[in-house]
Amino acid sequence: MVSALEMTKQLIAFDTTSRNSNLELIRFAQKQLEALGARVRLSYDAGRTKANLFASFGPDEDGGIVLSGHTDVVPVDGQDWSSDPFAPEVRDGRLYGRGSADMKGFIGCVLALAEELERARLREPVHVALSYDEEVGCAGVTTLLADLKQAAIQPRLAIIGEPTLMRPVGAHKAGAVLLTRCHGKEGHSSKPHLGANAVMMAGEFIAYLAELGEELKADRDVRFDPPYTTLQANRISGGTAVNVLARDCEVSWEYRALPDRDHESLVPRIEQHLHDVILPKYRRQGVDAEFETQLIARYPGLCFDEQSPAAALACELTGINALEAVAYGTEAGHFQQAGVHAVICGPGSIDQAHKADEFVALSELESCSQFLRKLITKLAA
């Protein structure tokens, strides 16, 4: 039997940065699971360059518990790593490598215990779900859930193994990533009244985001940190020269909203301000001035459900009675929307995710393995 550490090291060695295919890792996992008798189904992206895996142990019936993790990782470009991020190393009780915490540590623990799942006489199914493109908008899990719906497979609950230091998390914020294009009219910068400067348009747009962000702070839920909906621009690009009025400018921005609020009204409200307040001024100078906003990705929040059997199970297995809430997004909200009770609980700390020298403590892998063994024991006939 391969240890959780060795399995995680093998997974880290697959460069599954979101811009790349994850098929090598999926085929590796498929081979491991099918060799143990798991029932495996795959679902693909439109180009069939990426796949989700859904494998089932135990009785072939409705219900069951999903152990879910995403296979993609964020880029290492421009980061100062002490070692090769895709050549995992153990140092001082920690496993270093891209995805060690987010979230190949959890997947490694699950795959390492697959043989124990196969041997156990399970009373209900245990499913292993591996998805693609979580880091760029949870694209894969939507395809996976659609495939399960078409196949009439309805799990009872899901444990999403994002890094929580093995503490049960019962809620996370909703979010969206958007791109707003500002189109102006070029001209000489000495005569700004004869053109429409797209960079200045973008500046007014960003200022409004900041203003609205301050307003949103009034609505609070102290279980989250920060305890309010956040709104910010994170990237801006535009213009051609310092003495030329910019024709085009792009602003990438996001919101992270309290999960049980009407966050979908934010974008229409912002668009209305752009067109009713900011745009008229620039159209007086350039009749073709325009704002265009594109939704890049959106994910639902995970709402607190104190009666959730997923939360109750995670609390029982960890011995921790209090549910926590997090500001980052996961696939749990998608499972909840699909009628599957969901909880987040996995090894490692989110503070290590996406950074150079990402790591997971070996003690966390051991804690996760113990958690999963308790689950298998509980489900054994």
Q: Please list the active-site residues.
A: 72, 134
Structure tokens at 228: 């309010």
Structure tokens at 128: 């292993």
Q: How many CB atoms lie within 10 A of CB 193?
A: 8
Give the separation between CA 349 and CA 327, rounded to whole angstroms: 14
Count, residues in the chain = 381
Say if residues 237 and 219 touch (Cβ distance below 8 Å). Answer: no
Give the separation between CA 296 and CA 137, rounded to whole angstroms: 8
Q: How many CB atoms lie within 10 A of CB 194?
A: 13
Q: Which SS3 state, helix, strand or coil, does residue 180 take?
A: strand
Helices 105-112 and 362-379, packing angle to 10 deg: 40
Backbone angles phi, psi at 229, to 5 degrees: -70, 135
Structure tokens at 345: 């609980």
State which amino acid sits at residue 380: A
Structure tokens at 10: 């093998």
Backbone angles phi, psi at 238, to 5 degrees: 175, 170
Q: Which residue is listed with tokens 């704002």?
A: 291
Say if residues 361 and 109 touch (Cβ distance below 8 Å). Answer: no
Element (H, E) at 70: strand 65-70
Say if residues 301 and 172 touch (Cβ distance below 8 Å). Answer: yes
Structure tokens at 9: 């090291």
